[in-house]
A and B are shown apart, each in its own frame.
Chain A
């Protein structure tokens, strides 16, 4: 069993949501109970597999494990190849947790439940695919697969200004993906031209780079920005962030959760997985620009969030602000800072999923998220209120939550490399606390508003479970971060060392 799992676990994790989506096609739409069971069941099964993956990953050995390779189109050098290192294990874990919470939260969806779950499963499959693929062709394929369901999820189940939001989101992400695709294809042809062997095999290219050959400096300098801009669109890096807050706001709860929790992380993950290790000299040349732009994310995003009256826009802009810390950590290229960035991707994914789940929960009843209409909700929905306060505390970087530990790693890790951006990032924590505490006060504290007397709080264990799951993960990883950090470090350290070696070689 173990030997079988060892070879197949990643394919199984990938297959479970695909199979669930296919089965859901066959279920009659009226049987909502069965639809939900299938949706949640597939998430639970994925959770079990991921748990096995996390505990079986050998941190001593590090590197890529659980590899599987099946040739697909040999003539073009395309093969189905999967494998994970410490960084991708953490991302798979994040996806699984958000998937489970999202599937549980979506039990409340009444309209076209079946189609909703099908799209959710397809999205999750795409995201898993990105995190486990070691073949650039499949990497790109899954990347696109993850974006498309979002278009439909927002377009049909969305709210505020959804046609505009979903159009913008899809066009942005597709445009970004196309730029990245150009970069990937140029890499494919350059590699093929140089070695005479045309392949999309990531590991083969990486061996070539690590072996001292690699892309020429000029190639790296010109290709790196293509990958950076292409992938940073989804990260989202300022000023390419504009699709994100509107998209968050329009999306239904579970879609926002997946979107902000996981989808946005694909960009930073792709930069770390492909751009940095394959083009280290390009990274050395271009990352200082990222360190500049991320300050705009942090400060500008924070101030825009401060001026929002719609709660989802507050959280939306705060997400692009927090992604600035991730980009700063990546740009720092230190083991501490970059591991912190990956840890923050994880922590922010969970935190923001919690935020959108909570907002979605009472928005379904109030039909407004405008702060001026709300107030005193703590008295009507104490459970949701307390969890929201905890979410806000996590988001503003309170110790005890994973977000603090990861942001601290980014800040300490970046200080010696980019001190001014680090100072701005520290100031961003003041801004973050300001808009989050104001939001908490405006929506949940203060005198009771009789208009909301009829609101239902999350009472049953099933209703509470997604919230408790998410906040529990934040607390566990925040109170004792050593295990997850050492897992992430095994994946991040080789990437950082590659870039640092290039830096030393370039004399910078």
Chain B
């Protein structure tokens, strides 16, 4: 077999998951080894094609087989390696591999060690399937599979009620998104099917060609649902785009389908780093990039995407300022950063979004791994029980600080380049997105980001220890945990042009930019841009420093002064409560109503009613069965008489 075949990228993690589940559960170390070897192998295979991408080939490799075919519909299973998927392959297998190594330390004494690695391999298989997929239906298949991997990993500590509740919430929220996603797929599939012939259901390249065809694009009307509805060209594109976007909102946790991600922190920390920060939640951003040719012709669709992203970025950042659970702060920060990426896609900045996706994977994974090392050391998630840990965990602490600076966009760290690239897009938004939400919120979000991250760093690592018992027992993490952090730290620092050089970066942007997207202007490290970034950082970090470092401002007084506004934000804008209310009062009542209808109307009245009628009829007719021959003879006579009378 060809050792560079992209099939191997999928097969290796799948084989690892199957082998661990069936055979090596009893040997935790071996299981971890298998899992890591699978990721490393997938990374190597992917890397072997990196050269071709860097040489500027747009589509490097394709291949597929028929997964299911009936009635002229041919559902393929295949791979498509191009610039966009190459970036994702590198991020998923690279960052994924490091987190696997980290997990060998973090999960050390867990009784579910082997099971954990089986799930991780299953996740890698599912995620890489999204990245490599060459058609919409395959993406949907793997979309659901990453959903279930995420469900299994969030609910990893299944003895805890809160963990399994969070797992259910994640799965069901995503199901709601996927309801729209599948509808969008149906609309797009059938609309492009006639234009492309019948080759391959939902094949991206064929669809892109169909959409690029002016005859298709400017068709006066589109028939939907076999002609049951007809939509004008403009409506068709934005409705199909918005429905597909529902799936993306679910997976990338965009408002209002974001509620599952903070709860997903119930999973082990390496999972939070890998799935709920660096890779899976970025799948939505990746899919937006894949499908941008659908969104491009429709300003309405792009505008929806941009606004949802910008609002999510702001909304999540406000909540992050009030949380005390270290992982939850990072989770809301992830929401916020994903909002940036989604917004960038909506502003047609595919390359900016993919670039931020990459650097974010580095520093957000590092932040989570750092948080994991802290939790590993003090056995709590609550920053109110931490403080001063930099003295006990100097390595972790400084790693965390560097990652924070990268996230806040301090030049010249990687986050500066990617985040400023996105903020730059918002300065001159295209006409369809010329609103204050796009113009204003992202910059405010950047200030908030610096504020809540500085607050988190100060509360965790600086100041006096607030829980001496926990503080005294804290110790630095072992090498297998610190080493991956060091690698990620290097990447977080130099992940921008420092690593690649401006030409390669330019090239990186070119390959992630689909055809037809106008070229954007990029950030250059000049004094003005750097100053701008530093002012934003200074505003946020400065106020956090005043409140939590120098204690010039008393945070409790601010809290009291803000009153209801603070409570509103602290309660996550009451979105979770709203959903809980809907589930409890609407959904459950519909269920009760249907159940009552079944019990009392269908069974009670119709079924038992007909039984009662039968019985009643039986007892009436039984009266005639007297057993008396004279009565029968009399009835017989009457009958004969009646017949004769009728016939005569």
Contacts and interface: CB of A to CB of B under 8 A. Distances in A.
Contact of B182 (A379, A409, A426): A426
A491 to B, nearest CB: 12
Interface in B562-598: 587-588, 590-595, 597-598
Interface in B212-228: 224-228
B183 interface: yes
Contacts of A335: 70-72
B584 to A, nearest CB: 12
Contacts of A493: 71
Interface string B598-628: 1000110011000100000000000000000
A303 B201 CA distance: 33
A177 interface: no
Contact of A419 (B155, B171, B226, B611): B226
Interface stretch (A68-76, A106-114, A445-453): A445-453
Given A430-B176, A485-B68, A239 B602 contact: yes
A393 B155 contact: no
Contacts of A488: 70
B595 A482 contact: no
A424 B358 CA distance: 38
A334 B73 CA distance: 11
Given A303-B594, A304-B594, A433-B172, A445 B155 contact: yes
A351 to B, nearest CB: 16
A416 B71 contact: no
A434 B172 contact: yes
A90 B516 CA distance: 49
A145 interface: no
B429 to A, nearest CB: 34
B168 interface: yes
A339 B72 CA distance: 12
Interface string B395-420: 00000000000000000000000000
Contacts of B595: 303-304, 307-308
Interface in A428-444: 429-430, 433-434, 437-438, 441, 444
Given A242-B607, A335-B72, A419-B228, A437 B168 contact: yes
Given A415-B186, A415-B190, A437-B168, A481 B68 contact: yes
A480 interface: yes
Contacts of A486: 69-70
B385 interface: no
A446 B163 CA distance: 8
B71 A413 contact: yes
Contacts of B144: 397-399, 404
B148 interface: yes
A480 B71 contact: no
A276 interface: no
A292 interface: no
Interface string A383-411: 00000000001000111100011001101
B592 A409 contact: no
A281 interface: no
A489 interface: yes
B437 interface: no
B168 to A, nearest CB: 5
A304 B596 CA distance: 8
Contacts of B23: none
A485 B69 contact: yes
Contacts of A437: 168, 171-172
A304 B591 contact: yes
Q: Which of B182, B590, B591: most chain A CB closer than 10 A?
A: B591
Interface residue SS majority, chain B: helix
B21 to A, nearest CB: 9
Contacts of B137: 408
Interface in B67-98: 67-73
B60 interface: no
B49 interface: no
B145 interface: yes
A415 B71 CA distance: 14
B66 interface: yes
Contacts of B141: 399-400, 404
Interface string B172-214: 1001101100110010011000000000010000000000000
A427 B164 contact: no
A488 B595 CA distance: 36
A254 interface: no
A485 B70 contact: yes
A447 B186 contact: no
Contact of B67 (A340, A423, A481, A489): A481
B69 A334 contact: no
Contacts of B593: 303
Contacts of B190: 415-416
A133 interface: no
B589 to A, nearest CB: 10
B161 interface: yes
Interface in A325-366: 334-337, 339-340
A92 to B, nearest CB: 20
Nearest to B174: A433
Contacts of B175: 429-430, 433-434
A32 interface: no
Contact of B189 (A307, A412, A446, A489): A412
B179 A426 contact: yes
Interface in A248-303: 300, 303
Contacts of A324: none
Interface in B88-144: 137, 140-142, 144
A171 B71 CA distance: 39
B179 A429 contact: yes
A445 B158 contact: yes
B158 A411 contact: no
Nearest to A488: B70
B179 A446 contact: no
Nearest to A480: B67
A370 to B, nearest CB: 15
A169 to B, nearest CB: 11
A239 B67 contact: no
Interface in B52-73: 66-73
A419 B176 contact: no
Contact of A398 (B148, B158, B226, B590): B148
A416 B226 contact: yes
Contacts of A464: none
A304 B588 CA distance: 10
B72 to A, nearest CB: 7
A417 interface: yes
A314 B593 CA distance: 16
B172 A445 contact: no
Interface in A302-316: 303-304, 306-308
Nearest to B164: A445
B229 interface: yes
B244 to A, nearest CB: 14
Given A300-B594, A413-B71, A445-B155, A430 B182 contact: no
Nearest to B163: A445
B521 interface: no
Contacts of A408: 137
B165 interface: yes
A429 B182 CA distance: 11
A304 B141 CA distance: 28
B114 to A, nearest CB: 13
B194 to A, nearest CB: 11
Given A441-B168, A480-B67, 16 more contacts: A300-B597, A306-B591, A334-B71, A335-B71, A337-B71, A378-B158, A416-B190, A417-B226, A437-B172, A441-B164, A445-B158, A447-B160, A482-B67, A486-B69, A488-B70, A493-B71
13 contacts: A300-B594, A300-B597, A334-B71, A337-B71, A399-B140, A409-B68, A412-B201, A422-B225, A429-B179, A441-B168, A445-B158, A447-B161, A489-B71
Considering the complex of A and B, which 6 residue pairs feature the smallest CB-CB distances, nearest first? A419-B225, A335-B71, A416-B226, A336-B71, A307-B595, A445-B164
